[in-house]
Amino acid sequence: MIIEVEIEGVSLALRTTPNVFSPCGIDHGTRTMLSLISFTNWDRVLDLGCGCGVVGIYAAKLVGPEQVVMSDVDPDLVRLAAENAERNGVKGIRTYTSDGLRSIPDADFTKILTNPPYHSDFSVPKHFIEKGFNRLVIGGSMYMVTKRRQWYKKKLTAIFGGVRIYERSGYYVFWSQKRSSSYAGRK
């Protein structure tokens, strides 16, 4: 199925499949997260857990495909995201099949964007936060959207030293900025 969406004035046509999160449209949480982010020409963006690629493709339309990496644990979704990038005129985005950040060779991201699986245990978002911190440049930001607040607030604060939380329509968008090269909880 092909869905056509507009996000913050950017039109996208995306092929989806039943195994994609929110296969009939862009979920409200992702849309909300993207509405809160400002991109610059020098951003290096990681779409972590890319699904069909909506976040990475949107970012590539704003910063250029060579500045974007998309990854997912599911190789079928990585292929789908790459196909959607080409469909939307941003061929050249690097894509990786990766369990979290384990198989992503890139680093020095200015933004990591993710809508992690928050209906299971916290091992996946824990990995995303801890290892994502290590892949950000000083001053780089992690944006995360979930429907849960407390665990994410505590974890992001422990690693980044703070977090700004935006609540919209039952979703929480978390924004943390890397201010030093070591976790906040380490002396």
pLDDT value, residue 21: 76
Fold for the domain defined by 2-177: Rossmann fold (3.40.50)
Q: pLDDT digits over 15-70, tens only?
A: 998 777 776 678 899 999 999 999 999 999 999 999 999 999 999 999 999 999 99
pLDDT value, residue 120: 66
pLDDT value, residue 26: 85
pLDDT value, residue 117: 79
pTM of full prediction above 0.85? yes
Q: Where are the domains of the chain?
A: 2-177
pLDDT value, residue 128: 97
pLDDT value, residue 161: 97
pLDDT value, residue 119: 63
pLDDT value, residue 27: 87
pLDDT in tens, the chain (187 residues): 899 999 999 999 999 987 777 766 788 999 999 999 999 999 999 999 999 999 999 999 999 999 999 999 999 999 999 999 999 999 999 999 999 999 999 999 999 999 987 666 799 999 999 999 999 999 999 999 999 999 999 999 999 999 999 999 899 999 999 999 999 976 4
pLDDT value, residue 186: 65
DSSP secondary structure, the chain, as one string: -EEEEEETTEEEEEE--TTSSSTTS--HHHHHHHHT----TT--EEEET-TTSHHHHHHHHHH-GGGEEEEES-HHHHHHHHHHHHHTT-TT-EEEE-STTTT-----EEEEEE----SS-SHHHHHHHHHHHHHEEEEEEEEEEES--HHHHHHHHHHHS--EEEEETTEEEEEEE--SSS-TT--
